[in-house]
Amino acid sequence: MKLSFSPEDELFREEVANWLADNLCGEFEPIRFRGGPGDEHSFVEERKAWEQKLAEGGWTCIGWPKQYGGRAASVEQQVIFNEEYARAGGPGRMGHIGETLMGPTLIAFGNAAQREHYLPGIRAGREFWCQGYSEPSAGSDLANVKTRARFDEGTGQWQISGQKVWTSLAHESQYVFVIARTDPDSSAHKGLGFFLVAMDQPGVTVRPIEQLTGTSEFNEVFFDDAVCDADDIVGAPGEGWKVAMGLLGFERGVSTLGQQMLFQNELDEIVRVAKANGAACDPALRQRIAEAHIGLRIMRFNSMRMLSGGGDDGSLQKEAMIYKLYWSSWHRNLGKLAMDVLGAESEIVPEAPYGLSRLQSMYLFTRADTIYGGTNQIQRNIIAERALGMPREPRG
Amino acid sequence: MDFTFSEDQLLFQDSVRGFLVNEISPERLRAGWETDTGRDPALWQQFAELGLTGITVPEEHGGLGMDAVDFVLLAQECGYVALAEPLVNHALVAVPLLQDIGGELAARWLPLAATGEARIIAAVEQNLMVEDAHVADLLLLEREGQWFALEQGQFSCERSESIDPGRRLYTVTVPAGAAPIADGERASALRSASLNRGALGCAAQALGLAQRMIDLSVQYTAERKQFGKAIGSFQAVKHHMANVAVRLEYAKAPVHRAAYAVAEDAAGAALAVAQAKLMACEAANLAAKNSIQVHGAMGYTWEVDLHIFMKKAWALANTWGDAGWHKQQVAAVIFADGAALGAGATFQ
């Protein structure tokens, strides 16, 4: 056990901080601290330009192996990058799905041609991805996917038909990864394929969904004989579930560190507000802020523990399953805390029409946290059955 | 940055777990409630033979020279069996305190601590009562900013009953004219360090207690059938346990982090310990609450063992600084002007 950063790591910190100070300014000044949870719809073009700026400096995909354009950065370095990025007010990352989910999935499960074709666009901050998992009938029961993929011998392409829903930033993405049924007679997690599909084609229609925040960050995506090439399936037909679950494993890895730093910025803002408006003198609020602070530290310690391999049984599965339930509940409480710290002021919308403050957006957005990516109830089922070994619930 | 324990540390934990689970059954704990001292010299002797009484005693005094990181996993195991013997206080609090005090006192008592001939107990003003004063061969006691070293027979103590029948609590009277061994700033530094170690010991034991209550509940709900099915298959039951599992798993890293801070005598140790104790004791108390619920009426009986662990968890949560006290420590740090909270300080 050794819980400190090395001198080399501290040099790396300085390098990151300097680069951000020199580059996150000027035209990028307006997007500092923007585009985080609940604010993803803001400054999209500017944030895409920022991704390319990051890429020029070699600051996208830093955890990827060098052969794919990454820096093979250690876990410590990725922690440091995320810390400094948040401290500098780095905007919500447009490229995070490609960088933290699609890229690692292609590196782990894809073939050489797929990596060559898709990784450079992600690394360069030019190509953005969205996630085609949920469907109207496949929410908590994710394996109940109805979207179909049929291989057309004539054209040599896959043809995909069906509907996806809750697809974040589909309207800003060039590609979507889709789980679709390759075997029409299959059910549940058997007979699925994992496809890489271009968004800009006649067979793909995106329709935004207005959220209770009044903004639209997610969408319905309709596939009507949309096509992709024969080689655009990751793994073999029938192996889609394995790839899809492998991808979710990356969602709970290093990518969590960036998220925690966004949380830190939110908490810092709440502390500032509490000090300014006197809420910090209210013993009840003071204790809740202390609890929130502890909760965030605990997430951080756990990520570090998980990433350094300090799990009970050597595998990270238990903690990985546990992470979603913990952070989403914590963040939902933080949203409520922010409103309670603001008090009566929390109701007043600063800008008409319905231009919510950052904390108001955050509060509303946190209501989605305990639902997307597996509801808290589903997470508890999984934890009880897989981690604790409790008897399985009968399923229909 | 490395959160892992060494193979040796894990092996030691395994062997201690095996020993404790074998030796300390709930029946044996219950039998201990009925004896005069509630403590078992034969068991203490076995601890000595395993090296446990001397685990934190420096090698030159006959011990193993280990630190809080080495011991924290063992303290978890002590919690798992609701150990009544004062091993955690002795090894994690009193022996390191004795080393800090140094001098003749340390030179005389450390070898006796190592061999198990002496049980050493430490207590600070923060503790309402002194646990196990009746079996302390040497009591290191802080009162009103002064430390006293009192041998058995040099102080009088009056027993109060604990809600946990396994705990023995005493009001200790320092004899008039006893000379303090430390006062002023030095006493205050010794108190802070002892509080950190004592609270860490509670936190580590709370992890073990929570795990024990989960294990009992998972087993019970797999066996108990209603509506023709094991009740553990019902979501309303399993979600109670999932909530505990999450709290427990998440409390481990802060406890291990606090052990590291204590072992390294790091500047932020008090904060790390406060976080650890709050999280671990919350996990254990939630484990108690939810475990009793899923046991149904059986969980409310004296006969079912659950309450042994529940009461210990409850008692530990309120000793060596209760939740309110530790939360205030954290709040004071957060709201301090110029507090280092953001990047670069997130590992505090």
Would you say residue A228 has pLDDT above 70? yes
- Rounded to 5 degrees, φ, ψ at B234 are -80, 135
The CATH architecture annotation of domain A7-94 reads: Orthogonal Bundle (1.10)
Residue B264: its pLDDT value, please?
93
A148 band by pLDDT with thresholds 50, 70 and 90:
very high
CA distance A347 to chain B (A): 25
Asked whether the beta carbons of residue B275 and residue A294 sit closer than 8 angstroms, the reply is: yes
B337 band by pLDDT with thresholds 50, 70 and 90:
confident
The catalytic residues of A are 251
Would you say residue A258 has pLDDT above 80? no
Would you say residue A369 has pLDDT above 60? yes
Of A44, A362, A35, A39, the C-alpha closest to A215 is: A39
Which chain A residue has its CA at the smallest distance from B323's CA? A287
Residues with Cβ within 8 Å of A261's Cβ and at least 6 positions away in sequence, in order, are A82, A83, A85, A86, A87, B343, B346
A316 band by pLDDT with thresholds 50, 70 and 90:
very low
Domain A129-238 has CATH 1.10.1040.10: no
Residue A319: its pLDDT value, please?
63
Quick one: B186-334 is in which CATH superfamily? Butyryl-CoA Dehydrogenase, subunit A, domain 3 (1.20.140.10)
Mean residue pLDDT across chain B: 95
Any B CB within 8 A of A290 CB: yes
Would you say residue B322 has pLDDT above 70? yes
Asked whether the beta carbons of residue A309 and residue B3 sit closer than 8 angstroms, the reply is: yes
DSSP string covering B172-221:
EEPPTTPPPSEEHHHHHHHHHHHHHHHHHHHHHHHHHHHHHHHHHHHHHH
What percent of chain B lies above the pLDDT cut of 70? 98
Question: Which ipTM was obtained for this model?
Answer: 0.83
- pTM of this structure: 0.89
Residue A250: its pLDDT value, please?
80
A255 band by pLDDT with thresholds 50, 70 and 90:
low
Interface probe for A, chosen from B217, B241, B246, B271 (most Cβ of A below 10 Å), is B246
For residue A197, give the amino acid letter.
V
Would you say residue A256 has pLDDT above 80? no
CA distance A372 to chain B (A): 18
- SS3 category, B122: strand
Would you say residue A313 has pLDDT above 50? no
Which chain A residue has its CA at the smallest distance from B336's CA? A275
What does the domain layout of chain A look like in residue ranges? 7-94, 129-238, 252-387
Asked whether the beta carbons of residue A383 and residue B242 sit closer than 8 angstroms, the reply is: yes
Residue B342: its pLDDT value, please?
64
Asked whether the beta carbons of residue B233 and residue A389 sit closer than 8 angstroms, the reply is: no
- SS3 category, B60: helix
Write out the two tokens for B256: 């291990």
Burial string for A85-101 (b: 16+ CB within 10 Å, else e) reads: bbbbebbbbbbbbbbbb
For residue B139, give the amino acid letter.
L
Q: Tell me the per-residue pLDDT of A154-194, one tens digit each, with 9 for 90 and over.
A: 999 999 999 999 999 999 999 999 999 999 999 999 999 99
Would you say residue A317 has pLDDT above 60? no
Question: Hey, which residues 79-118 in chain A have their CB within 8 Å of chain B?
Answer: 79, 83-84, 86-87
Residues of B in contact with A289 (CB under 8 A): 331, 334-335
Write out the two tokens for B282: 């919350």
Q: Which one-letter DSSP state was computed for residue B318?
A: T
Asked whether the beta carbons of residue A300 and residue B330 sit closer than 8 angstroms, the reply is: no
Residue B346: its pLDDT value, please?
61
Residue tagged 């933290």 (tokens): A100
- Residue B296 C-alpha from the chain's centroid: 29
Residue A396: its pLDDT value, please?
65
Residues of A in contact with B330 (CB under 8 A): 290, 293-294
Q: Which of B1, B5, B250 sits opposite A302 (nearest CB)?
A: B250
Any B CB within 8 A of A302 CB: yes
CA distance A308 to chain B (A): 6
Residues of B in contact with A298 (CB under 8 A): 250-251, 253-254, 275, 279
Instruction: Compute the distance between CA of residue B110 and CA of residue B101 in angstroms, rounded to an integer.
Output: 11
A37 band by pLDDT with thresholds 50, 70 and 90:
confident
SS3 of chain A: CECCCCHHHHHHHHHHHHHHHHHCCHHHHHHCCCCCCCCCCCCHHHHHHHHHHHHHCCCCCCCCCHHHCCCCCCHHHHHHHHHHHHHCCCCCCCCHHHHHHHHHHHHHHCCHHHHHHHHHHHHCCCCCEEEECCECCECCCCCCCCCEEEEECCCCEEEEEEEEEEEECHHHCCEEEEEEECCCCCCCCCCEEEEEEECCCCCEEEEECCCCCCCCCEEEEEEEEEEEECCCEECCCCCHHHHHHHHHHHHCCCHHHHHHHHHHHHHHHHHHHHHHHCHHHCHHHHHHHHHHHHHHHHHHHHHHHHHCCCCCCCCCHHHHHHHHHHHHHHHHHHHHHHHHHHHHHHHCCCECCCECCHHHHHHHHHHHHCCCCCCHHHHHHHHHHHHCCCCCCCCC
What does the domain layout of chain B look like in residue ranges? 186-334
Of A259, A128, A242, the C-alpha closest to A179 is: A242
Asked if omega into B111 is within 30° of 0 (cis), the reply is no
Write out the two tokens for B23: 């030796």
Residue A36: its pLDDT value, please?
84
- Mean pLDDT on A281-310: 88
Residue B35: its pLDDT value, please?
96
Residues of B in contact with A309 (CB under 8 A): 3-4
Of A162, A220, A153, A169, the C-alpha closest to A195 is: A162
What count of CB pairs under 8 Å joins A to B?
Answer: 178
Q: Which of B2, B275, B343 sits opposite A1 (nearest CB)?
A: B2
Q: Tell me the per-residue pLDDT of B35-71, one tens digit each, with 9 for 90 and over.
A: 999 999 999 999 999 999 999 999 999 999 999 999 9
Q: For residue B222, give the H/E element and its range.
A: helix B184-223
Residues of A in contact with B241 (CB under 8 A): 384, 388, 390
Residues with Cβ within 8 Å of A39's Cβ and at least 6 positions away in sequence, in order, are A92, A358, A361, A362
Residues with Cβ within 8 Å of A34's Cβ and at least 6 positions away in sequence, in order, are A42, A43, A47, A91, A92
Interface probe for A, chosen from B213, B219, B238, B244 (most Cβ of A below 10 Å), is B238
Quick one: A252-387 is in which CATH superfamily? Butyryl-CoA Dehydrogenase, subunit A, domain 3 (1.20.140.10)
Residues with Cβ within 8 Å of A20's Cβ and at least 6 positions away in sequence, in order, are A84, A85, A88, A90
Residue A308: its pLDDT value, please?
77
